[in-house]
Amino acid sequence: MNAAHVDELDRVELPDGFVWRPIRRRFDIRAFGVNAYTARAAGSPIVETHKETQLGHEEIYLVLRGRANFTIDGNEHELAAGQLVFVRDPALERGALAVDADTVVLALGGKPGEPYEVSAWEAMFAAVPAANREDWDEAIRIHDDALGERPDHPALLYNLACMEARGGRHLDALLHLQRSVELDPKWAAHAHSDADFAAIRSEPGFPV
Amino acid sequence: MRRRLDGGSQVAEAPAWPAPERRLDGYEILSLDELERYPSETHGGSVLLPLRQRLGLRAFGANCWTAEAGAQIVPRHFEESGDEELYVVVRGRASFAVGEDTLDAPAGTLVHVLPGTMRQATAEEPGTIVLAVGAPAGRAFEGRGWDEVVVAFAHGRAGDVERGRALMHDVAARQPDGWEAPYNLACFEARFGDADTAFEHLRRAVASAPAEVRGYAREDRDLASLRDDPHWQELFE
């Protein structure tokens, strides 16, 4: 049976402080977005402060265990197990802190009227543990897999270039960075101050 | 009737969680215990907590089920709709049967099931709640309204026929094609309205899909009140 308990899910500690517990990726769900989140400690972030403007998702955050203090559009709401917030408007900023150390929040999302597409950020999150231990081959593989489905995703290409630059694959990094900037010029500005590109910044062809 | 309400009593338990239900601009907060509970005859007596309808979800389906300990909580079915589903045990404990496998599933368990796989679950503790999330892979989600039909029949059974009828027509308006909407309207009218209106809907259903409607209508208890009517013979015999 394709089943797991939330406590058995992978733990990916992210730089913003919250802990991603991948569900969609674990089961390879293709019809909607679903993940769980936990915190490093009571009082720590459990849901990243963000908007869904880019993806256009409507989202449900359901507290499965413990309590979380949500801030939605500037308003604070403490929710306990069995309570949820449905954020209909993608433009509203939302985030949460765990009140109890063992709090678990289930997040569900999708864009009304469109087939679900796997979000590019998943691959970036999934590559964090490999990047933390400087396993660049693994981090690059995770990005390559994601790009297999979405070959022209600028953010994925940019992140792949970061991993390649750190891993010593300088020519690949340059080519993927160029492609990212070609698709979305905003990435050129990011590249100029990104420490990941220190080794290739003086190479001919580095985006200006 | 393909999707309707059981005549049994609703499961009434004291809410275990506080009730912070609030509607705000662009978002909404609620407790699952605030959702109304509707036993569903066409779902083996499992009790529906209609979350999708309550929130007006448009991107995916999400509803909760509850049941008394020892009773079926997730109806035995596969997904004719093609929906991929994830079941989340939110509270209590359930035992799942998926294909040939079984699983003891305490709160926090996630069970993923592809559309063609038979699944069923039984509540093992009082107050168990299972959240079912579903949508088709590769296609946009469209709420087909089976959950609203369950609620509409509940209103009809409770004597609030107009409220139930209005909900049935809301569902039908979103499904102008096909036989299911007029067939369900016929069932509703046969149970709670009048025979002439029921036959009007039934004729439309038959015109849309004669073989399927005949197959369902022959055994459907909702239509029992129509079978001795001469119009029935005209339609089916």
Instruction: Give the pLDDT of residue B15.
Output: 42
Which of B24, B29, B83 to substitute to test the interface with A, most A CBs within 10 Å?
A: B29
Instruction: Give the pLDDT of residue B22.
Output: 59
Q: Hey, are the CB atoms on A31 and B20 less than 8 Å from each other?
A: no
CB-CB neighbors (< 8 A) of A5 in chain B? 106, 108-110
Instruction: Give the pLDDT of residue B42.
Output: 77
Kindly report each contact of residues A28-31 with a partner whose C-beta sits within 8 Å and lies 24 or more positions away, as own/partner: A29/B84, A29/B86, A29/B112, A30/A116, A30/A118, A30/B84, A30/B137, A30/B138, A31/A116, A31/B60, A31/B83, A31/B84, A31/B134, A31/B135, A31/B136, A31/B137, A31/B138, A31/B141
Of B84, B114, B136, which closes a domain?
B136
Instruction: Give the pLDDT of residue A138.
Output: 97
Instruction: Pick A65's closest partner by Cβ from B105, B108, B110.
Output: B108
Which of B23, B24, B27 to substitute to test the interface with A, most A CBs within 10 Å?
A: B27
Beta-carbon pairs below 8 A across chains A and B: 159
Distance from CA of A146 to the nearest CA of B (A): 17
Instruction: Pick B88's closest partner by Cβ from A7, A58, A106.
Output: A106
Instruction: Pick B29's closest partner by Cβ from A58, A83, A109.
Output: A83
Instruction: Spell out, as residue ranges, where chain A has pLDDT lower than 50.
Output: none
Task: Give ipTM to 2 decimals.
Answer: 0.92
Query: pLDDT per position in chain B (237 positions), as tens?
Result: 443 323 333 333 334 444 454 566 799 999 999 999 998 877 877 899 999 999 999 999 999 999 999 999 999 999 988 999 999 999 999 999 999 999 999 999 999 999 999 999 999 999 999 999 999 999 999 988 999 999 999 999 999 999 999 999 999 998 888 899 999 999 999 999 999 999 999 999 999 999 999 999 988 999 999 999 999 998 887
Q: Are residues A80 and A151 in the same domain?
A: no
CB-CB neighbors (< 8 A) of B62 in chain A? 60, 108
Q: How many CB atoms lie within 10 A of CB B196?
A: 10
Rg (CA), chain B: 18
Domain assignment of residue A100, given as a range? 6-110
Q: Hey, are the CB atoms on B20 and A79 less than 8 Å from each other?
A: yes
Say which CATH number the domain at A177 has: 1.25.40.10
Q: Are residues B124 and B31 in the same domain?
A: yes
Instruction: Pick A82's closest partner by Cβ from B33, B113, B139.
Output: B33
d(CA B114, CA B81): 11
Q: Are residues B32 and B131 in the same domain?
A: yes
Domain assignment of residue B59, given as a range? 22-136
Rg (CA), chain A: 18
Instruction: Pick A27's closest partner by Cβ from B60, B108, B112.
Output: B112
Instruction: Give the pLDDT of residue B23.
Output: 61
Instruction: Give the pLDDT of residue B25.
Output: 76
Instruction: Give the pLDDT of residue A97.
Output: 98
Q: Which residue of A has its CA nearest to B55?
A: A86
Q: Which residue of A has its CA nearest to B137?
A: A31
Q: Are residues B107 and B154 in the same domain?
A: no
Of A110, A139, A158, which closes a domain?
A110
Of B86, B104, B136, which closes a domain?
B136
Distance from CA of A135 to the nearest CA of B (A): 30
B15 occurs within a structural domain: no
Q: Are residues B128 and B28 in the same domain?
A: yes
B12 occurs within a structural domain: no
Q: Hey, are the CB atoms on A80 and B106 less than 8 Å from each other?
A: no
Q: Hey, are the CB atoms on A88 and B26 less than 8 Å from each other?
A: yes
Give the pTM.
0.89
Write the DSSP string, A56-90: T-EEEEEEEESEEEEEETTEEEEEETTEEEEE--T
Instruction: Give the pLDDT of residue A130.
Output: 96
Looking at the structure of chain B, the number of domains it has is 2
CB-CB neighbors (< 8 A) of A114 in chain B? 140
